[in-house]
Amino acid sequence: MKSRTVIITGANSGIGKAAAIRFASEGHTVIMACRDSERSRLAFKEVRQTSGSENVFPEFVDMGSFGSIRSFCSSFKKTYGSLDILIHNAAYVSHGAPYQLSQDGIEITFATNTAGPFLMTMILKELLAGSDDPRILHAGSNIIKHFFNPKKELDFSDLQGEAGKNRNHSVYITYRNSKMALLMLTRRMAGEFKESGIKVNYLQINGATMSKETLNKMKPNWRAIARIQNLFFRPPEFTANCYYEICTSEAFRNVTGQAINHRLEIMQPAAEKPGLLMDIRQSLGAGYIPFYARRDEVIAKVWDKCMELTEMALTEQAEPEPDVP
């Protein structure tokens, strides 16, 4: 297989690190796009050592900061000059944490999991378009199953701190919403990028063993739940293999705009009014995405919101850098 250049965000841990090892072991050039930390430096060494590849490079980025994403992208363009695969794996999920705004004044979960990846994709799309087989993958979650309940919907009313002190904040809900928004962007981007040949898909992840560091970031009661979940979850390498197949195999070469499950099947949109038995089947299985995910007016709202939030960052990025005298 032809060697590809791959960016994996959040590659210092869990599924992202396992994916970095997998891509590097198969001879691809891997850019580990991680936050600047000791953990990232150790992970970088580990990925090089385990894969036996020299073509692994650490590049620092904070996916919750537009400034950091912009400087990552401009340095990436100068240093590497081409890109074939972009994997948006990094995610913020700090259960029990208070409401927090990013440096850009956006709720931190949405900023990191949805608006940040959107911005990075929009800046790098021209570079991707130069590849003979460009692919983008969004790391999703089965938490979007909540949207099988027709009462659940995305709520943008407190994305920029509007609710002040009167909010009832839950990271669980903001995380759930950020992943549904990412699924909706997947569909819209597939349409927007069709001409340039860039394929965009979403992998629904049902669970992967969480590392000690990830568990340590959680509040004690959430940590206890996660420890129990870990007993049933598959190792990160299982999901890393799904990343690999979706981003490199012939089977997915022409697949775009889809949600894909852990069995590498394309998920079908659920019926709007399924009836009881079908409703149970849709909600419990991994074959369907909620009907809500295909609502065009909500998809347009998510797209417009991301455009609005990133407009300034995108305009500044497009401006030529001033000549240094």
Ligand X SMILES: NC(=O)c1ccc[n+]([C@@H]2O[C@H](COP(=O)([O-])OP(=O)(O)OC[C@H]3O[C@@H](n4cnc5c(N)ncnc54)[C@H](OP(=O)(O)O)[C@@H]3O)[C@@H](O)[C@H]2O)c1
CA separation for the pair 313, 67 (Å, rounded): 8
Q: Name the nearest CA neighbour of 282 among 295, 269, 292.
A: 269
| CA 171 – CA 259 distance, rounded (Å) | 23
Give the tokens for residue 255.
């697949």
Q: Are 108 and 161 in contact (CB under 8 A)?
A: no
Among 39, 169, 294, 295, binds ligand X (CB under 6 A): 39
Tokens at 192, concatenated: 């927007």
- The secondary structure of 143-193 as a DSSP string is GGGGGGSTT-----TTTTSTTTT-----HHHHHHHHHHHHHHHHHHHHHHT
Contact flag: residue 112 with ligand X (CB under 6 A): yes
- Candidates 5, 13, 29, 109; binder of ligand X (CB under 6 A) is 13
Residue choice 46, 50, 158, 207 for contact with ligand X (CB under 6 A): 207
Residue located via tokens 């400034």: 67
d(CA 214, CA 177): 21
Q: Compute how many residues bind ligand X; rule: CB under 6 A.
A: 31
Which of positions 235-264 make contact with ligand X (CB under 6 A)?
236
- Both tokens of residue 106? 């956006």
Using only the alpha carbons of the chain, give its radius of gyration. 19
The reply to whether 94 sits near ligand X by the rule CB under 6 A is no
Per-position x/- string for 45-64, each x denoting binding to ligand X as judged by CB under 6 A, each - no binding: ----------------xxxx
Is residue 214 near ligand X by the rule CB under 6 A? yes
Q: Which is nearer to ligand X, 100 or 131 (CB)?
A: 100
290 in contact with ligand X (CB under 6 A): no
Q: Rank residues 145 and 305 by Cβ distance to ligand X and give the closer one.
A: 145
In terms of CB distance, is 219 or 253 closer to ligand X? Answer: 219
What CA–CA distance (Å, rounded) separates 309 from 325?
33
The dihedrals phi and psi of 30, each to the nearest 5 degrees, come to -115, 125
Question: Stretches 6-14, 79-87, 121-129, 311-319: which one binds ligand X (CB under 6 A)?
Answer: 6-14
Q: Considering beta carbons, is residue 95 or 152 the nearer one to ligand X?
A: 95
In the complex, minimum distance from the CB of residue 187 to ligand X, in angstroms, rounded to a whole number: 18
Active site residues: 175
From the list 222, 232, 234, 100, the residue with the least C-alpha distance to 172 is 222
Give CA–CA dist 305/136, Å, rounded.
21
Q: Which of 3/74 has CB closer to ligand X?
A: 74
The contact mask relative to ligand X for 126-165 (x = CB under 6 A, - = no) is -------------x-x------------------------
**Residue closer to ligand X (CB basis): 47 or 208:** 208
Beta bridge partners of residue 88, listed in sequence order: 138
Stretch binding ligand X (CB under 6 A), from 119-127, 205-213, 279-287, 295-303: 205-213
Return residues touching ligand X (CB under 6 A): 9-10, 12-16, 34-35, 37, 39, 61-64, 89-93, 112, 139, 141, 205, 207-208, 210-211, 214, 233, 236
